[in-house]
Structure formats: structure tokens, C-alpha cells
């Protein structure tokens, strides 16, 4: 089929229609930057052709060179055959207007915390950006949230930690790309282990939080991501519990902890009825990211 397509497809419109049909037939799963075949096809085509990824219409009827057609068909076929997330095929991922290098050493960046940082969603608990002078990104992965924190809090020195040396190598590439090496310090650490004496005005974390049952049911696309970046015990909260147990001693007075936990709100609240979780609002709802101040943790006995 792909050999025939090389002979007959000529325009971006042709290739886009072909890609959407192939993706739908293959029943691909989305969730690494797009949510449907139409957008996934548009992104892969535009990224492969080195065109702006948000401007499909102006080039829809552009005729392509044979080598361009071959490149696009190759990546369409690779997406279908390997079921790799598109980000791993293009080696890039976006959070808002921020672009990051990614490969299979890190989870594809996607975080409700990014949206919260873009929209000043930590108010009133963090009233002024200049009040954050020391910050921590725990389980940093590709370094994307540490980089977003550096832009949101321009006076902050940031520690970014991860247990995976491979992930830290990728994070370093992104930090260099954004010229933030003087503000973001990367560390290999099992949560707070390497920073036992450090305290922060803000700690954020997008840790692994998929429960064991859901890990077993994950679509093939997710199986290309590092396993350690997804699962977190039977109920998905193993790492979150460790963070809550240690966070108080690493927060400055009036310090703030922000953690993403996916769909585990009910389970978390049942385990910690004494904690007054503040659930931050996102476009997808208000049950995916919680905020706690140091004072809230202390009053709860943590």
C-alpha cells in the first residue's frame, strides 16, 4: 500500500487523508500531545517537512517533492507499525509554546502542572513570583517542568532531580538548549536522598502514579516509555506517600508543595483524611494536582 501511495499521492492534503485513514484503521492510541488521528497526522506531516506545526491550512494543497513524500510516508508507516508515540519519532514534544527534546529515555512530557504554571494557578499560595528563590522539581524526567519553573519564577535557583541517569542526560540537553545551566542544578537522587539538608519555597513533582491494574492495561504506545516513569505500586501512590512523609522538612516557612497524581484523588483523600488538599483547576478538571503548604502538613502531623 505504501509503495502505491508513493506513486499517487502528491499534496499535503493527499498525505494527510492517507495518514488519518491508516491511523484509524490501525486503531492507534493518542495522548502524547494529540487526542485524535486528524491532529496526529497533521503534526507528523508538518514536523517531518520542517513546517510550523500549527499551520496546516496554508500548505494543504502544496505539491511535494518525491523525497518529501517518501519521508512523510516513512514516518506514517513507522507510527503505525511500531506504535511509538509521535514525539519519539520526531524527537520533540511541546508544552504550550515550549519545545523539548525527547527520546525513549524519558516519558513524553505531559503535565497538568505545566498548565498551572502558564496560568498563574498557584495564586494565592504563591502571590508573587519573586518570593520563590529556591525551588525543586522532583522526578524531573526531560527537565521540562524545571525549565517552565525557571521562566515562571525568574529569581529562583532550581534543583531538578531524578533517579534515572538516562533521564538526566536528556534533561541536560534541554537545559542547555534554554541556556539555564546557571539556574537549574541536575542531580541523580532517589527523591530527597541527595538533598537531605536543602529547603525550598516551592516543590513540584509529576511522579509516577499509574496503579498496577492500569499499568497492565496500558495501550502499546505507553509501553515505549520508561516503565519506572509510569507505575507506582498497587494503588499508584507509593511515591506520593514518600513525598508527603518527607516534604515538611524540605519546605521553608510558607513553602508550597504541588504534586500531580492523575486519577487517584479518591484513594489519596481516603488515606489522608487529615490533610486539607487544595485541588488546582485545569482544563480537564480539578482533581489531578494537589497543593499543600508547609503549615497544612505540620498541622496534620506530617
Q: Cis link prior to 236 (omega < 30° from 0)?
A: no
- Considering the chain, what is the average pLDDT of its residues? 95
For 26-36, what is the mean pLDDT? 94
Q: 50: which residues sit within 8 A by CB, 6+ positions away?
A: none
- pLDDT per position as a tens digit, 47-78: 999 999 999 999 999 999 999 999 999 999 99
Burial status of residue 261 (CB atoms within 10 A of its CB: 0-12, 13-18, 19 or more):
buried
Q: Is the pTM here over 0.85, yes or no?
A: yes
Whole-number Å distance between alpha carbons of 23 and 14: 14
Res 2 pLDDT > 90: no
Could you tell me which of 164, 99, 121, 132 has the C-alpha nearest to residue 260?
A: 121
Amino acid at each position: 500500500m505504501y509503495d502505491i501511495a508513493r506513486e499517487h499521492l502528491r499534496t499535503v492534503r493527499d498525505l494527510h487523508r492517507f495518514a488519518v485513514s491508516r491511523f484509524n484503521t490501525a486503531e492507534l492510541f493518542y495522548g502524547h500531545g494529540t487526542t485524535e488521528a486528524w491532529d496526529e497526522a497533521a503534526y507528523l506531516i508538518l514536523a517531518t517537512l520542517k513546517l510550523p506545526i500549527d499551520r496546516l491550512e496554508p500548505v494543504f494543497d502544496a505539491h511535494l517533492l518525491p523525497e518529501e513524500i517518501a519521508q512523510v510516508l516513512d514516518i506514517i508507516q513507522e507510527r503505525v507499525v511500531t506504535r511509538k508515540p509521535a514525539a519519539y519519532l520526531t524527537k520533540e514534544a511541546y508544552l504550550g509554546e515550549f519545545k523539548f527534546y525527547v527520546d525513549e529515555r524519558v516519558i513524553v512530557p505531559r503535565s497538568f502542572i505545566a498548565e498551572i504554571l502558564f496560568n498563574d494557578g498557584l495564586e494565592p499560595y504563591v502571590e508573587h513570583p519573586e518570593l520563590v528563590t529556591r525551588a525543586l522539581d522532583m522526578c524531573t524526567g526531560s527537565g521540562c517542568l524545571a525549565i517552565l519553573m525557571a521562566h515562571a519564577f525568574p529569581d529562583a535557583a532550581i534543583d531538578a532531580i531524578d533517579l534515572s541517569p538516562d533521564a538526566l542526560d536528556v534533561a541536560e540537553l534541554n537545559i542547555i538548549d534554554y541556556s539555564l545551566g546557571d539556574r537549574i542544578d541536575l542531580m541523580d537522587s532517589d527523591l530527597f536522598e541527595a538533598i537531605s539538608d536543602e529547603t525550598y519555597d516551592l516543590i513540584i513533582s509529576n511522579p509516577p502514579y499509574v496503579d498496577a491494574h492500569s499499568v497492565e492495561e496500558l495501550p502499546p504506545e505507553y509501553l515505549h516509555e520508561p516503565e519506572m516513569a509510569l507505575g507506582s505500586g498497587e494503588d499508584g501512590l507509593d511515591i506520593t506517600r514518600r513525598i508527603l512523609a518527607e516534604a515538611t522538612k524540605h519546605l521553608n516557612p510558607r513553602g508550597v508543595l504541588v504534586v500531580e497524581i492523575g486519577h487517584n484523588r479518591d484513594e489519596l483523600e481516603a488515606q489522608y483524611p487529615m490533610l486539607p488538599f487544595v485541588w488546582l483547576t485545569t482544563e480537564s478538571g480539578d482533581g489531578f494536582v494537589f497543593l499543600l503548604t508547609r503549615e497544612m502538613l505540620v498541622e496534620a502531623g506530617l
